[in-house]
Structures are given as structure tokens and as C-alpha cells.
Amino acid sequence: MKVIVTENYDEMSKKAAEVIAEVIKADENAVLGLATGTTPIGLYKELIDKCAKKEISFKNIKTVNLDEYVGLPKGHVQSYDYFMKDNLFNHVDIDLANTNLPNGIAADLDAECARYTALLNKMRQSIQLLGIGSNGHIGFNEPKTPFDSTTHIVNLTESTIKDNSRLFDDISEVPTKAITMGIANIMNAKKILVVANGENKAKAVYNMVKGPVTEDCPASVLQKHEDVIVIVDKKAAALL
């Protein structure tokens, strides 16, 4: 695990965007595993900027997202589908047909989980971007999720619902279920990039990097992956 500590959020975003840009430059057909949340917004802006300057192109890039809420109608402003278009896809030269998210409104959610895992096995992420939850979750894999899990439906914990409620008008509107890549699907990526900022992530970052490898902290499994880069600002690195 390579850990890079930056002065602030902007530097974290720039460095993380460089890592992804290098993957794109090395392979114009790369498969990017992407994340939503507030942490990657800055690095997506940097990628948009690099694309505008023609330093990189998404023309042949394929993407697979980590997760999606269950039950939000298509086009809902809080859906991860909307988020990805709003924060990245609509601003770069990507073919939307090459972008993939789990479908949280599939009629048969079990079949959708199987479909998504089959897709991930076929595509295999060149790089998987991750944020980390304050309880150590990755994707929506909450503490105690088995390390061998594949795409599955989760009941979100109270702490995650609370974390996410800042993006909704009222906590009662936050979906209580999501569909997420499993931990095995994440670990199957060739390279993993984790970004985190702010003091509320410090404990989770410590447990991910220095804690025991345990299902109590899903992100700790990353210690077992051979190519992980962690880029965190100094507040998130405070306990390291």
C-alpha cells in the first residue's frame, strides 16, 4: 500500500487525477472503476480539465461504477447515474454506451446482481477508484460484509444513512437499500486508488492502513491487494 499525504483537498484531487490520467494514457481502452460521493468531485474536475486540454481522451474508455441506490427513479438528482453524468460523463468525450452502473430499479434485483458481477468479471477494472466511509465502508460494503462478497443488495447502516443525508432535503428521503459491487469485485481490480479528506475520515484511514485486516473494517482488506495507492489530505492522515 502506497500512502501519499497531501496538504489539502485540491492537492489530493490533482494527484489522484494524475494517477487515473496515467492509466488512460497507458491504455486508451482502459476500464475505469468509478465512485460517487463528495470526495472524488475535485478529481473529476481535474480529469475534465485534462480532457479539455486534450491531454487525455475518454473516447474508448469504459467505466463501471461501484454502486447505486435501490428505488430512485431514473434521472433522480440523487441517483448515482445522475451524479456521474453531472460530475464527469457530460463533460468529457466518453460514449455513454461504454458507461455502466448497477441498475437500482431492476425488476429482479438478484438477477441484476448476477448480471453486474458477470460484467465485472468480463471487463476487469484497470483501476478502481474508492472513497471510504467514516465506518470504513468501501462501495456500500458495510462492516461485517464478507471479503468474498460479489455484487449484492445492502441495507444501509444508520451511520451511512446519516452521512448521506446531507445531500437530501430530509433524512427520511435517503434510500435505505443500495446495490453494490462486492469486496471480491473490488479486489479483482488490477490497481486500486483510494481518496479521503477531512478529519472525520482519520479513524477509517488509520484502520484501513494500519489496523488489523478484519471484516469489521471493510477497507482493511486493501492491505492484501498488491497495487493500492492511498491519497489523503493531512487531516485524514492525522492518525497515521
- Which H or E run contains 19? helix 9-26
The owner of cell 460517487 is 36
Alpha carbon distance 129, 223 (integer Å): 15
Q: Please identify which of the residues 87, 137, 164, 207 carries the catalytic annotation.
A: 137
Q: Which is nearer to ligand F6R, 98 or 157 (CB)?
A: 157
67 part of the active site: yes
How far is CA 139 from each of CA 3, 45, 128, 201, 223, rounded to the nearest angstrom? 20, 21, 11, 15, 16
Selected catalytic residue, list 46, 112, 142, 233:
142
Q: Classify residue 38 by its DSSP letter.
A: S
93 is catalytic: no
- When CB distances to ligand F6R are compared, the closest residue is 131
- Residue 57 or 119 having the CB closest to ligand F6R: 119
The nearest distance, CB 30 to ligand F6R, in angstroms, is 19
How many other CB atoms sit within 10 Å of the CB of residue 175? 18
- Annotated active-site residue 142? The verdict is yes
Minimum gap (Å) between residue 54 Cβ and ligand F6R: 28
Which residue's CB is nearer to ligand F6R, number 131 or number 182? 131
DSSP secondary structure, 62-129, as one string: EEEESEEESSPPTT-TTSHHHHHHHHTGGGSS--GGGEE---TT-SSHHHHHHHHHHHHHHH--SEEE
Which residue type is seen at 5? V
Whole-angstrom Cα distance, residue 131 to residue 137?
Answer: 9
**Are residues 65 and 80 in contact, defined by beta-carbon separation less than 8 angstroms?**
yes
| Residue numbers at the binding site for ligand F6R (CB under 6 A) | 35-39, 66-67, 131-133, 137-140
Catalytic residue, chosen from 65, 87, 112, 135, is: 135
**Between 138 and 230, CB nearer to ligand F6R:** 138
Q: Which of 46, 65, 67, 185 is catalytic?
A: 67
Between residues 30 and 64, which has the closer beta carbon with respect to ligand F6R?
64
Q: How far is the CB of 107 from ligand F6R (least distance, A)?
A: 23
Q: Is 199 an active-site residue?
A: no
Cβ at position 53, least distance to ligand F6R in Å: 26
> In angstroms, what is the minimal distance from the CB of 123 to ligand F6R?
17
Active-site residue set = 67, 135, 137, 142
